[in-house]
């Protein structure tokens, strides 16, 4: 086989000698021995996202199912409002439908969500709120009955007909702010009664919230039920951590900065911690939380997604499928979790919640060490830690580097170099390093190179995760959503451990509210190689 590359245009022309045949997608024929000319798209893309979709116009219907629930009023509707205020939801194209079982009027729903609509970026917030609320219409119906969804489709179609004088596609976005138990029935109703019917094109997409199942079997069953009704490009499994500003910055940091490239491997990095801490307990959600626990609620999804971005190889491009391919490779390289590399905890007073069983074995705290069996990360522990009712509230990634060999300054006791990405609160990234203490003596001290967002980007409002992800859904960009094979690989990692916990084979250790969690967790981290810094505290700089 010979190749001739002609780079006269933006794509490559390839001249190929074709002595054999493959299937029709490959573009060559067998036996002729002739030259054939083939064209292929370049891997490069003009847009950073790699998404080549032309901006769509026409009618956009956003349907929030579970509109009367907490998630919808606290997250979904405020995100839509912020997108509206920034001009991403033009009122001459967009209409928003709320759907739930509760029998209320349009105005009742508007009044329920009004107090959650706050936008500091708006010049006239009260006027914007009023205009936005007028875009919202409410339809009541069950989640498994035809009547409600037929009525919903009728109202959506009525809105689409009213916009029919404008040329463009008809787009329907269904946001399932619902418990996963009703996903199958709701998806069947959408598929049967509410699909986009426009001759001008357009689409129907669905957004589903976590938890996507409770273990591998239930997740696969749920994926199969939804997959029978919708194609993968129509399904957006939302994990709001992937919409956070600093999480989205990870790929840029890793692959756009030369000095990270040679350091980001097992030769230089000793361990990686990905931490989620809350300083409050379940607070009225005890019954719900007890079904899932901290591993299903936080570690198996949010922290594991962050791990993928920290550990993945450079993708071929920034196209969503190329990025998600690399994330799946990371997950498939994770070794089975060892019981001795897990510490579980439950805060004292958790079972006092009347909705929590008296003998609950559900962990409210967990430290789990994951090990990735590949060339880059062999031997580097990834320490995933999450807990409730602790002494602080934060989420961060802490990359700890190895000790300096031949330490002539005798400063190892002060701590190692660390690169820390603070996801929340006070978004920041800082490099912890050893410098000379100012003065006449040659003594060392730990300090930092600091990029704190509130100081560096004054006046810039960081978008909420849900804003970004809903906008990505409208644009058809699946980069920050979980693909089916990715979801399966994630559950394969944690399901055996979760089953051992569910069966009572592993018990959580009690810990005091307001503490760091069980002391055994710190001991496990130290055993894995993490060296805690003493005497140094990062203080977010003031403006």
Instruction: Please list the active-site residues.
Output: 302
**What residues contact 78, with CB distance under 8 A and at least 6 apart?**
113, 116, 117, 118, 464, 466
DSSP letter string, 395-436: EEEEEEEPPPSS-TT--GGG---EEEEEEESS-EEEEEEEEE
- Count the residues in the chain: 543
Rounded to whole angstroms, how far apart are CA atoms 310 and 121?
Answer: 32
CA atoms lying within 13 Å on the CB side of residue 312: 24
Q: Give yes or no for a contact between 21 and 28, defined as CB atoms under 8 angstroms apart.
A: yes
- Report which of 514, 517, 498, 516 is spatially closest to residue 506, judged by C-alpha positions: 498
Q: Give yes or no for a contact between 413 and 395, defined as CB atoms under 8 angstroms apart.
A: no
Where b means 16+ CB within 10 Å and e means fewer, 477-495 reads: bbbbbbbbbbbbbbbbbbb
| Rounded CA Rg of the chain | 26
* Residue found under tokens 């979760």: 498
Query: How many beta carbons lie within 10 A of that of residue 424, not counting itself?
Result: 15
- Report which of 78, 85, 80, 141 is spatially closest to residue 113, judged by C-alpha positions: 78
> Which residues partner with 236 through β-bridges?
207
In 145-254, DSSP assigns E strands to 169-176, 202-209, 235-238
Question: Tell me, what DSSP letter sits at residue 72?
Answer: I
DSSP letter string, 301-355: IIIHHHHHHHHPPPPSSSSHHHHHHHHHHHHHTBPPPPGGGEEEEEETTGGGSTT
Q: Give yes or no for a contact between 318 and 50, defined as CB atoms under 8 angstroms apart.
A: yes
- 291 burial (CB, 10 Å; 0-12 / 13-18 / 19+) is exposed
Rounded to whole angstroms, how far apart are CA atoms 501 and 489?
Answer: 20
- Report which of 323, 182, 190, 340 is spatially closest to residue 247, judged by C-alpha positions: 323
> What is the side-by-side order of every strand in the sheet holding 58-65?
136-140, 94-100, 58-65, 169-176, 202-209, 235-238
Rounded to whole angstroms, how far apart are CA atoms 100 and 139?
Answer: 7
Rounded to whole angstroms, how far apart are CA atoms 366 and 384?
Answer: 8
Q: Give yes or no for a contact between 50 and 86, defined as CB atoms under 8 angstroms apart.
A: no
Rounded to whole angstroms, how far apart are CA atoms 418 and 402?
Answer: 9
């Amino acid at each position: 086989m010979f190749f001739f590359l002609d780079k006269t245009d933006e794509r490559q022309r390839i001249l190929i000698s074709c002595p054999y045949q493959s299937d029709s997608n490959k573009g060559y024929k067998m036996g002729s021995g002739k030259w054939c000319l083939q064209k292929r798209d370049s891997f490069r893309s003009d847009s950073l996202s790699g998404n080549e979709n032309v901006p769509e116009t026409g009618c956009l219907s956003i349907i929030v199912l579970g509109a009367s629930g907490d998630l919808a009023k606290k997250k979904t509707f405020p995100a839509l409002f912020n997108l509206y205020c920034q001009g991403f939801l033009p009122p001459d194209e967009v209409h928003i439908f709320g759907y739930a079982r509760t029998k209320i009027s349009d105005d009742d729903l508007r009044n329920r969500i009004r107090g959650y609509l706050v936008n500091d970026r708006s010049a006239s917030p009260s006027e914007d709120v009023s205009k936005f609320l007028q875009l919202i219409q409410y339809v009541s119906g069950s989640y498994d009955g035809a009547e409600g969804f037929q009525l919903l489709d009728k109202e959506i179609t009525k809105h689409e007909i009213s916009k029919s004088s404008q040329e463009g596609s008809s787009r329907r976005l269904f946001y399932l702010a619902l418990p996963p138990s009703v996903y199958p029935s709701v998806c069947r109703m959408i598929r049967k009664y509410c699909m986009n019917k426009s001759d001008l094109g357009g689409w129907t997409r669905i957004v589903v919230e976590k938890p996507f199942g409770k273990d591998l079997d239930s997740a696969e069953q749920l994926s199969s039920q939804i997959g029978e009704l919708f194609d993968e490009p129509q399904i957006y499994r939302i994990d709001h951590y992937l919409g956070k500003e600093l999480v989205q910055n990870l790929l840029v940091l890793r692959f756009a900065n030369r000095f990270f490239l040679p350091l980001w491997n097992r030769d230089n990095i000793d361990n990686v911690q990905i931490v989620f801490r809350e300083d409050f307990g379940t607070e009225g959600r005890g019954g719900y939380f007890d079904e899932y626990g901290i591993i299903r609620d936080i570690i198996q999804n949010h922290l594991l997604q962050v791990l993928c971005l920290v550990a993945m190889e450079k993708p071929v491009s920034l196209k969503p499928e190329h990025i998600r391919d690399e994330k799946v490779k990371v997950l498939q390289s994770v070794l089975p979790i060892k019981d001795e590399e897990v510490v579980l905890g439950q805060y004292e007073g958790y079972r006092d919640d009347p909705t929590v069983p008296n003998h609950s074995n559900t962990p409210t705290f967990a430290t789990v060490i994951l090990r990735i069996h590949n060339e880059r990360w062999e031997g580097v522990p990834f320490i995933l830690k999450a807990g409730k009712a602790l002494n602080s509230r934060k989420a961060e990634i802490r990359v700890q580097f190895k000790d300096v060999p031949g330490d002539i300054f005798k400063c190892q006791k002060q701590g190692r170099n660390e690169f820390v990405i603070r996801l929340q609160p006070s978004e920041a990234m800082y490099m912890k390093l050893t410098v000379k203490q100012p003065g006449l003596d040659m003594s060392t001290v730990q300090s930092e190179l600091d990029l704190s967002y509130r100081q560096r980007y004054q006046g810039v409002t960081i978008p909420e995760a849900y804003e970004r992800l809903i906008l990505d859904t409208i644009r058809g960009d699946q980069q920050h959503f979980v693909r089916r094979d990715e979801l399966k690989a994630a559950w394969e990692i944690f399901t055996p451990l979760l089953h051992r916990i569910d069966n009572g084979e592993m018990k959580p250790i009690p810990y005091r509210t307001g503490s760091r969690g069980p002391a055994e967790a710190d001991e496990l981290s130290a055993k894995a190689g993490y060296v805690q810094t003493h005497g140094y505290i990062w203080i977010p700089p003031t403006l």
